[in-house]
């Protein structure tokens, strides 16, 4: 079951970055994200009720559901969507690899989980690879500012995502199932997005072209309902650090699609950078599995 969840997460989230690209255009970014999670919530709530997993939880649980909604279903995606305006969606997925490092550090801060030395070594590979991957996009003109802006916004979104992972670990420790927490968190995240739209004076219009509508449906059902349920199930099963290893294959899938649809150009530097990132993530996966086996033995 764990392997199935791993493959499902990679297959879905490796392609959602391109779907996000098709959401950009005439519709306000925050409004598009609101439509995504409003639709996902409308799909998820009846499903959770039908299978009998709907639970109110305690007042403290509801507080954490609100926080999870902010971190996983609103603020992080605002960052990801805006970042895609500055850099290709495939590069945003590469920066999302930082979730592995963020989760390791945050697990230490919030739960006292020891950060092994191999994590720092793997992170060095990842940061070096990211620098190489970004280098073809940085020119000696104003465009380098846009590139760094996109990188910074995407990194902030990944940090929000990591905080959401920590809240999911808390849910697992008190026996809250992913479907239950997702239902409430997604509802609260949708309300947060609605509030932001209203306060900012955004116009609620809906694009009617096929690319926008199909990508919206895909992001709502597969990217949100199925993808997040699969991923957060992994977080509870194997921990946030190991679950974040799914990001190792996201750049391969996302950059391949980005090259075809967005015109992303592979260079020797970017290829070397991707190789370093994959090497760092492989190191984390390989060492992490060995340590878990040693502890289990």
pLDDT band of residue 248 (cuts 50, 70, 90) is low
pLDDT value for 152? 92
Higher pLDDT, 140 or 39: 39
Residue 263 has pLDDT above 70, yes or no: no
Mean pLDDT (whole number) for 2-24: 82
pLDDT band of residue 14 (cuts 50, 70, 90) is confident
Mean pLDDT, rounded, of the chain: 82
Mean pLDDT (whole number) for 253-268: 72
pLDDT band of residue 140 (cuts 50, 70, 90) is very low
- Determine which of 104-113, 167-176, 254-263 has the lowest per-residue pLDDT on average: 254-263
Mean pLDDT (whole number) for 264-289: 74
What residues does each domain of the chain span? 2-296
Convert the chain into a string of H (helix), E (strand) and C (coil). CHHHHHHHHHHHHHHHHHHHHHHCCCCCHHHHHHHHHHHHHHHHHHHHHHCCCCCCCCHHHHHHHHHHHHHHCCHHHHHHHHHCCCCCHHHHHHHHHHHHHHHHHHHHHHHCCCCCHHHHHHHHHHHHHHHHHHHHHCCCCCHHHHHHHHHHHHHHHHHHHHHHHHHHHHHHHCCCCHHHHHHHHHHHHHHHHHHHHHHHCCCCCCCCCHHHHHHHHHHHHHHHHHHHHHHHHHHHHHCHHHHHHHHHCHHHHHHHHHHHHCCCCCCHHHHHHHHHHHHHHHHHHHHHHHHHHHHHC
Q: Does the global pTM surpass 0.85? A: no
């Amino acid at each position: 079951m764990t392997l199935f969840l791993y493959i499902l997460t990679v297959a879905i989230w490796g392609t959602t970055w391109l779907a996000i690209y098709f959401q950009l255009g005439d519709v306000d970014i925050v409004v598009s994200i609101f439509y995504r999670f409003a639709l996902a919530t409308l799909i998820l709530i009846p499903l959770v009720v039908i299978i009998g997993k709907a639970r109110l939880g305690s007042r403290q649980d509801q507080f954490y559901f609100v926080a999870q909604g902010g971190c996983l279903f609103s603020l992080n995606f605002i960052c990801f969507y805006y970042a895609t305006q500055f850099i290709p969606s495939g590069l945003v997925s590469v920066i999302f690899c930082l979730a592995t490092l963020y989760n390791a550090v945050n697990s230490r801060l919030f739960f006292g989980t020891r950060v092994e030395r191999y994590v720092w070594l793997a992170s060095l590979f990842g940061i070096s690879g990211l620098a190489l991957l970004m280098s073809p996009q940085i020119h000696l003109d104003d465009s380098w500012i846009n590139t760094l802006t996109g990188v910074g916004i995407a990194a902030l979104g990944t940090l929000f995502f990591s905080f959401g992972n920590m809240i999911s670990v808390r849910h697992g420790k008190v026996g809250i199932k992913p479907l239950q927490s997702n239902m409430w968190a997604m509802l609260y995240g949708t309300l947060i997005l609605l509030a932001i739209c209203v306060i900012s004076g955004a116009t609620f219009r809906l694009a009617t072209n096929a690319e926008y509508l199909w990508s919206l449906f895909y992001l709502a059902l597969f990217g949100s309902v199925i993808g997040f349920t699969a991923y957060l199930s992994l977080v509870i099963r194997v921990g946030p650090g190991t679950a974040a290893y799914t990001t190792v294959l996201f750049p391969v899938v996302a950059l391949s699609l980005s090259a075809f649809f967005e015109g992303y150009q592979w260079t020797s530097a970017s290829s070397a950078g991707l190789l370093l990132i994959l090497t760092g993530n492989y190191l984390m996966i390989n060492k992490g599995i060995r340590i878990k086996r040693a502890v289990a033995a």
